[in-house]
Amino acid sequence: MKHLITTAAALMATTMLATPVLADAHSKQMATVVKIDGIAWFNRMRLGVDEYAAETGNNAYLVGPAQADPQQQVALIEDMIAQGVDALLVVPMSPEAIEPVLGRAMDAGITVITHEAASQENTLYDIEAFKNEDFGANLMDRMAACMEEEGEYAVFVGSLGSQTHNQWVDGAIARQQEAYPNMTLVGDKNETADDQQQAYAKAQEVLRAFPNIKGLQGSASTDVAGIGLAIEERGMEDATCVFGTSLPSIAGQYMETGAVDGIGFWDPKIAGIAMNKVAMMVMNGEEITDGMDLGLEGYEAVTLEGKVITGKAFVDVDASNMGEYDF
């Protein structure tokens, strides 16, 4: 059962979580602000931030709103600005919604780095694990092979305002239109608020509206789990192909049963370290260059286009190899 949380209570909870621990006078205050706290994806990212803090001595920590709400994220960033952090590392729920507050952070002299927001204007650098359209196209190729390149499919995003989710889906649709003419997109983008129960409810709606559907592609890490549950309940494991962005810890049980056929992801732990590392390089006056090695897996030879740093960090996982990943 989903618990309803008032905005005021949620903001109070995230503000309490946002209080940094005491650190020595020479360490930097580095706040990573994510879309939503408490889900497996960002719990994994927190491990990276904590590891970075332990290795460098900086007061690096991760916080997020209790609900996937752009305004709650804005309020949390405002709190970080008021606390006088040295760096803000942000994974935006909606890049457009946080432009003004990130602008205020930069005006205050705070180093701003983003992730999953390639079009963000008020940032010094945005870090992407890969080219988003290519990632979406790869998911489509895998789903098309499972569907034998024919039939109806639907797409899901955590938020219609999430740039990366929409780029993945748009890349997938473009790939389908280019390479798989016997496949047909049905309905609009299904918005799930990064919530497994909402993904489940949306999947049920799609399955009722399109009983012959063969493919379902998710974007939020919780999408395929919600979709997989709906598929299991209807006994449609053999009739459908479900792919999307997720982690083995979230989707593994559904890949075991065949309700989810495959996932793609990058390691949010490494992404968390990358954001903090780039922020520290900027604060130290170091140059970010095309082709440089960040010393992190998947980011050994990054490309730099304008403000966007792009790695090559995605992996394909299904039931045959999910045991290789312990997160």
pLDDT in tens, 253-267: 999 999 999 999 999
pLDDT of the residue at 19: 40
d(CA 243, CA 179) in angstroms, rounded, equals 18
For residues 82-88, average pLDDT: 98
Question: b vs e for 11-47, b when ≥16 Cβ sit within 10 Å of the residue's Cβ?
Answer: bebbbebbebeeeeeebbbbbbbbbbbebbbbbbbbb
What does the alpha-carbon distance between residue 257 and residue 255 come to, in Å, rounded to a whole number?
5
Q: How many residues does the chain have?
A: 327
pLDDT in tens, 167-191: 999 999 999 999 999 999 999 999 9
Q: Residue 201: is it exposed, middle or buried by C-beta count within 10 angstroms (0-12/13-18/19+)?
A: middle
Band of pLDDT at residue 20, cut at 50, 70 and 90: very low
- Report whether CATH 3.40.50.2300 matches the domain 7-130+267-314: yes
Average pLDDT, the chain: 92
Write out the CATH class of domain 132-265. Answer: alpha beta
**Burial of 148 (C-beta count, 10 Å sphere; 0-12/13-18/19+):** exposed
- Residue 169, classed as helix, strand or coil, is helix
At 293, list the tokens: 């090695």
CA–CA dist 99, 74 (Å, integer)? 9
What pLDDT, on a 0 to 100 scale, did the predictor assign at position 197? Answer: 98
CA diameter of the chain: 63
Neighbours of 291 (CB within 10 A): 9
Q: Is residue 230 within 8 Å of residue 204, measured between CB atoms?
A: yes
What residues does each domain of the chain span? 7-130+267-314, 132-265
How far apart are the C-alpha atoms of 104 and 86, rounded to whole Å? 13
Fold match flag (7-130+267-314 vs 132-265): yes
pLDDT higher than threshold 50 for residue 17? no
State the amino acid at position 327 in one-letter form: F
**pLDDT the model gives residue 15:** 36
pLDDT in tens, 216-238: 999 999 999 999 999 999 999 99
On the question of pLDDT at 8 being above 80, the answer is: no
Tokens of 44: 């994994």
